[in-house]
């Protein structure tokens, strides 16, 4: 039968020693509850929760208190080098452990695993309103999670992991498994550092990161090697999920080598409603570096409405290749994303090598420093409904060698005299319905136009088509297999047949924006009807 114990320094307490309370709970059948009062200090803490289901709940002012508030601090400093809490499951059974209203600090490495918390086996662990700070380890400065297929680690939105360090991997969290353990993180992860994976290191783990309701998500983490925010290898699957209320943020992370926000090797990254801003890498991939069969998908959330910028790659910096993305060896699917103001020495926005890239409905603008905006080395590049414009410091917008190069229903409109496409080799190509600032020789025979798109207000980064744009109702829609998402950058349906505008080849507009007579995204002003 489940029991409740209270640990503290007053007469209502059952224990003064937290370790003894855990030991007694282990001998009692069922899931027990341990209330931890704040009326005494807990130092040199090194707890062992083994083969038991239990709740550890802090925040009580004393042992008579029934409504917790704040957090109780468990400090590992002053004792032997060890994790503050070890949660083990040596018998292979599935156990549920809940940690709530705790501040865990001062943990040091025990056999290099988990300064704050070490979790093994089939335990299902939930952290509610828990902070982990000032912990250190070889792997997993705050948390080391080595789970089986049944293992789970769930961290809620009120939790924080900050100011932890690892000499090897996973400054915040190290997650490893031979069976694809699940980590679900909804809190804030910031100011952690490691050699690789300043925030999170994932080795064959499934990691879901959800936009927190308070705070900035995964930010300001550092790697002296690669993966400032997240380092993923060995078939890990990383998912970031935002919504109409909060984007999932990966901002201000830094790697001395590759992948300011993400470094991926033979792993998958899916971002829905994400913001990757102001990340940096000393070498490749200011925001994302992906290699060895890694796959990257980045799209807005369903229901994204005008002006929200529901998927963003902005202000990232790479010392060498790919200001936003450096992709080597597999597939990139980038849709409905603002790729803005990124910088690199080579390929200010995206660099591809032996990859398959599908870019649809993106605005790629104001990227700078490099000689090209998108560079390909033996890659397939397919651009549908993209707006590539107002980039600077380059000679050619799109350049390199291509397997397949397809450009449809797009705008590539840069400053006068700058080359739009320069291909050293192409194995197959398809071009149709493109507005160029300077016509490249390779598209002769295709349906193209060389004219000012007449954006609404490019000085304010408003690259929607104005009511008098010649690109309204210009083209047909390519096949459904080529263009699976028939929504524009504002979340509006494509193919709006503007009244009074004769169709050139169909009712579909060129570029990332589909003009319509709906309200502007500010909700106040209705666009005027086109006049021609």
Three-state SS sequence of 138-206: EECCCEEEEECCCCEEEECCCCEEECCEEEEECCCEEEEEEEEEEEEECCEEECCEEEECCCEEEEEEE
- Asked whether 40 and 11 are in contact (CB, 8 A), the reply is no
Instruction: List Cβ neighbours of 494 (8 Å cut-off, separation of 6 or more).
Output: 385, 477, 486, 487, 488, 508, 509, 514
Rounded-to-integer distance, Cα 209 and Cα 238, Å: 8
**pLDDT for the residue numbered 251:** 98
pLDDT mean values, one per 10 residues, the chain (532 residues): 94 98 93 98 97 97 97 93 91 91 92 91 96 98 91 96 98 86 93 99 96 91 99 97 95 99 99 98 99 97 85 98 96 97 96 97 96 97 97 93 96 91 93 90 76 97 96 85 73 92 94 78 36 34
**pLDDT for the residue numbered 149:** 79
Task: Say how many Å lie between the first and final Cα of the chain, rounded.
Answer: 79
CA 494 to chain CA centroid, Å, is 27
3-class state of residue 346 by DSSP = strand
Nearest to 240 by CA among 160, 186, 166: 186
DSSP secondary structure letter of residue 293: S
b/e for 212-247, b at 16 or more Cβ within 10 A? Answer: beebbbbbbbbbbbbbbbbbbbebbbbbbbbbeebb
Rounded-to-integer distance, Cα 495 and Cα 515, Å: 9
3-class state of residue 321 by DSSP = strand
- Asked whether 327 and 318 are in contact (CB, 8 A), the reply is no
Rounded-to-integer distance, Cα 177 and Cα 476, Å: 49
> At 453, phi and psi to the nearest 5?
-65, -20
Rounded-to-integer distance, Cα 403 and Cα 94, Å: 50
C-beta atoms surrounding 329 within 10 Å: 18
Instruction: List Cβ neighbours of 479 (8 Å cut-off, separation of 6 or more).
Output: none
pTM of the model: 0.95
The tokens for 252 are 């201000």
C-beta atoms surrounding 183 within 10 Å: 24
Nearest to 213 by CA among 160, 170, 163, 261: 160
3-class state of residue 20 by DSSP = helix
**pLDDT for the residue numbered 526:** 34
**pLDDT for the residue numbered 109:** 77
Identify any residues that bridge with 153 across adjacent strands, giving them in sequence order. 125, 183
Rounded-to-integer distance, Cα 27 and Cα 286, Å: 52
**pLDDT for the residue numbered 243:** 92
Instruction: Say which residue the tokens 């601090």 belong to.
Output: 73
Rounded-to-integer distance, Cα 216 and Cα 221, Å: 12
C-beta atoms surrounding 293 within 10 Å: 15
Instruction: Sheet containing 136-139: give its strands across.
Output: 136-139, 165-169, 193-196, 222-223, 254-255, 280-281, 317-321, 343-346
Nearest to 86 by CA among 56, 45, 51, 47: 47
- Asked whether 488 and 361 are in contact (CB, 8 A), the reply is yes
């Amino acid at each position: 039968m489940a029991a409740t114990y209270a640990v503290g320094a007053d007469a209502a307490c059952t224990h003064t020693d937290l370790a003894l309370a855990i030991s007694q709970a282990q001998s009692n059948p069922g899931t027990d509850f341990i209330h931890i009062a704040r009326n005494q200090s807990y130092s040199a803490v090194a707890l062992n929760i083994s083969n038991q289901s239990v709740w550890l709940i802090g925040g009580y002012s004393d042992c008579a208190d029934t409504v917790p508030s704040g957090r109780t601090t468990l400090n590992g400093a002053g004792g032997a080098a060890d994790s503050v809490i070890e949660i083990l499951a040596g018998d292979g059974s599935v156990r549920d452990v809940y940690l709530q209203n705790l501040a865990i600090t001062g943990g040091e490495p025990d056999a290099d695993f988990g300064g704050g918390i070490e979790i093994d086996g089939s335990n299902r662990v939930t952290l509610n309103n828990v902070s982990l700070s000032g912990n250190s380890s070889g792997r997993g400065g705050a948390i080391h999670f080595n789970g089986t297929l049944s293992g789970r680690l769930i961290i809620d939105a009120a939790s924080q992991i900050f100011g932890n360090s690892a000499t090897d991997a996973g400054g915040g969290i190290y997650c490893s498994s031979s069976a694809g353990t699940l980590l679900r993180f909804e809190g804030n992860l910031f100011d952690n550092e490691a050699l690789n994976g300043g925030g999170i290191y994932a080795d064959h783990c499934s990691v879901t990161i959800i936009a927190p309701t308070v705070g900035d998500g995964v930010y300001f983490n550092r790697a002296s090697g690669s993966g400032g925010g997240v380092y993923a290898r060995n078939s890990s699957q990383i998912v970031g999920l935002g919504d109409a209320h909060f984007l999932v943020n990966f901002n201000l992370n830094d790697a001395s080598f590759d992948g300011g926000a993400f470094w991926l090797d033979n792993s998958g990254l899916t971002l829905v409603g994400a913001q990757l801003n102001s990340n940096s890498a000393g070498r490749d991939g200011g925001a994302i570096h992906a290699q060895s069969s890694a796959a990257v998908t980045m799209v807005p959330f369903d229901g994204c409405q005008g002006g929200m910028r529901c998927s963003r790659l902005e202000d990232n910096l790479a010392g060498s290749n790919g200001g936003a993305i450096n992709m080597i060896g597999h597939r990139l699917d980038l849709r409905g994303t603002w790729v803005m103001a990124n910088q690199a020495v080579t390929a200010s926005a995206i660099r591809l090598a032996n990859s398959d890239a599908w870019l649809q409905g993106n605005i790629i603008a104001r990227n700078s420093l490099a000689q090209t905006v998108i560079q390909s080395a033996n890659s397939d590049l397919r651009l549908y409904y993209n707006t590539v414009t107002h980039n600077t410091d380059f000679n050619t917008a799109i350049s390199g060698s291509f397997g397949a190069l397809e450009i449809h229903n797009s705008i590539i409109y840069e400053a006068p005299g700058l080359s739009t496409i320069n291909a050293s080799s192409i194995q197959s190509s398809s071009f149709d319905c493109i507005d160029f600032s300077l016509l490249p020789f390779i598209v002769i025979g295709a349906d193209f136009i060389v004219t000012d798109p007449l954006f609404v207000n490019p000085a304010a980064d408003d690259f929607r088509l104005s009511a008098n744009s010649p690109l309204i109702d210009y083209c047909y829609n390519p096949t459904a297999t080529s263009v699976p998402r028939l929504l524009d950058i504002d979340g509006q349906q494509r193919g709006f047949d503007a009244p009074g505008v004769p169709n050139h080849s169909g009712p579909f507009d060129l570029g990332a924006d589909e003009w319509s007579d709906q309200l502007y995204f500010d909700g106040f002003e209705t666009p005027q009807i086109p006049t021609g």
